[in-house]
Chains A and B, each alone.
Chain A
């Protein structure tokens, strides 16, 4: 308790220097505790204001120059405090204790939810506001909307296809409902066969997976699309009755980093759409 009081006093004294403006004007000191937040800040041109990021932030390449302040689940409170941020932005659940400590020490902490597409959009707005770049935020959002609409246009009239998206084989963990990935699948004219599990991530029954006959399987555990050879099918090889297996429509993703709930949402959407309806994307190649 005493240590915290001393720390609070220190902060109070040091923050009284007139050369540090507090709010609203361009130079904010921002700490990002999630990869999607970091990407958003870069996308709205606020990269100069980022003074600390979490260890898993890896996009874009310029993040290599920025200091790390701990991992997503274990942010280093001391390091963060030493950087004297104006705001710390994170994504649930992060680390509730660390968040509480930072708040107690008078640091502004903003937590943005990014489960659904609506939330992702709201998050971008909030982050833009905190960074004092509301206009850039809106323009990012409209750019994203345009791209998503273009992809949806390409998919106009495409047939519904049964899709299963998994991130692990043993145990079998699938994308359920209440998460943006499910929404992307739906918008890409896919029927997520694991949606009625009613959870974002479900330890899915393999029996149900076989019985529901998915036509496309997107398997995040399988590595990148280039290595999409049959010997890497893993467990799917044992089930040739699944249409996706029979027709060679089991695909790996380039890695789940492209499926982040941030400004690259349209990229993720395109990837998913391309995997579900490749025939609609014949002309252009990545």
Chain B
């Protein structure tokens, strides 16, 4: 079918949602330690170590993977539409760089706070700092990317890339100044981590992400028209400037929060929308919700792999997504490249 119908929309999204729910259950049952769900069902109290593992370690982590993956998927799809580039990724706009930098600065200075501050503040200080960095970066990049008062995609892309490079350099600088242990902590932060024990974090993040992705998904039809170019979209009734700003802000704030909570996890926002587009078509009314489920699916399985493959050690989840994503990306580039150059 070369166009989107209501039936197709319902079918694809239902199938993906069901797959996601099944994966949630499966992934919560799989881990470095063998636990039996039936046993937990019988004695769910926290005196039972298996219940502790399930409720305090696995479940929050799997839920966070779903939220982070979904957010990255939708943000990626929306940004690919904004930047007119099917190979763009959410970290490209520079917000991740700024968030990472602030998070890392907070990370290396937490030792100063260690003795004086309550635990909750200490643990969330890094995330709060990273999120503040994300907001600041969003505003800064927005200002920098305005050309004649309008947000141009190419300017946004360039500004993001340069800003990321700048933040990377600063992070390298910090890395060279700190000691061995802090340097390792920085490295691990940069590779991403979905480990969380805090349902409050999971809850707040879900709420936040839900608002962001709902708005973005609702822009589906307008995102289609956006790809017709300025003249085409304007003339079909789309307020391009407002739409561009809205997408940039929504995607940035989503990505910023995600990086603050789980560090840099790459390739999800790049691969999932691209793959789904190849399978289900480019219509954003379907692509965005599908990327929500697809991103969640990809990340929840990637994280399951990360925490079981090298047991009892764990791989950083960013490594797993890169190892799946990298070769796939190169393969796509070759395939797309041939197509583009034929014209």
Contact = CB atoms under 8 A, between A and B. Distances in A.
B53 interface: yes
B312 A234 contact: no
A203 B179 contact: no
B119 A232 contact: yes
A173 interface: yes
Given A171-B195, A256-B181, A196 B176 contact: no
A142 interface: no
B341 interface: no
Interface in A194-221: 194, 196-197, 199, 201-208, 210-211, 213, 220
A211 B53 contact: yes
A38 B176 CA distance: 21
Contact of B119 (A167, A213, A233, A240): A233
Contact of A205 (B49, B177, B183, B313): B313
A242 B119 CA distance: 20
A94 to B, nearest CB: 11
B263 to A, nearest CB: 9
A72 interface: yes
Interface string B167-203: 0000000001101110111001000010101000000
B220 interface: no
A73 interface: yes
Contacts of A196: 312
Contacts of B52: 210, 239-241
Given A207-B32, A210-B53, A211-B49, A227 B314 contact: no
B46 interface: yes
A232 B113 CA distance: 12
Contact of A170 (B33, B123, B180, B314): B123
Given A205-B307, A207-B58, A210-B57, A170 B184 contact: no
B118 interface: yes
Contacts of A173: 184, 188
Given A205-B313, A205-B314, A208-B312, A167 B181 contact: yes
A207 B188 contact: no
A203 B188 CA distance: 9
Contacts of B197: 235, 238
A77 interface: no
Candidate in B58, B180, B183 with the most chain A CB atoms within 10 angstroms: B180
Interface residues of B, number: 37
A203 B314 contact: yes
A56 interface: yes
A172 B195 contact: yes
B176 A73 contact: yes
A205 B31 CA distance: 9
B119 A204 contact: no
B177 to A, nearest CB: 8
B33 A207 contact: yes
A207 B33 CA distance: 6
Nearest to A222: B114
Given A170-B193, A208-B33, A203 B118 contact: no
B180 A168 contact: no
Interface string A52-82: 0000100000000000000111100000000
A132 interface: no
A184 B49 CA distance: 29
B49 A56 contact: no
B242 interface: no
Given A74-B176, A213-B49, A241-B49, A168 B115 contact: no
A244 B195 CA distance: 21
B47 interface: yes
B312 A170 contact: no
Nearest to B119: A231
A194 B314 CA distance: 12
B214 interface: no
B119 A170 contact: no
Contacts of A237: 119
Nearest to A171: B188
Candidate in A170, A203, A204, A223 with the most chain B CB atoms within 10 angstroms: A203
A194 B312 contact: yes
Interface string A166-203: 01101111000000000000000000001011010111
B119 A168 contact: no
Contact of B313 (A170, A204, A231, A240): A204
B311 A205 contact: yes
Given A203-B316, A210-B49, 17 more contacts: A71-B177, A73-B183, A168-B188, A171-B188, A171-B314, A194-B312, A203-B188, A204-B312, A208-B32, A208-B311, A211-B49, A213-B49, A227-B115, A232-B114, A233-B119, A237-B119, A240-B52
Interface of A: 56, 71-74, 167-168, 170-173, 194, 196-197, 199, 201-208, 210-211, 213, 220, 222-224, 227, 231-235, 237-241, 256
6 contacts: A171-B195, A197-B313, A199-B313, A205-B312, A207-B32, A237-B119
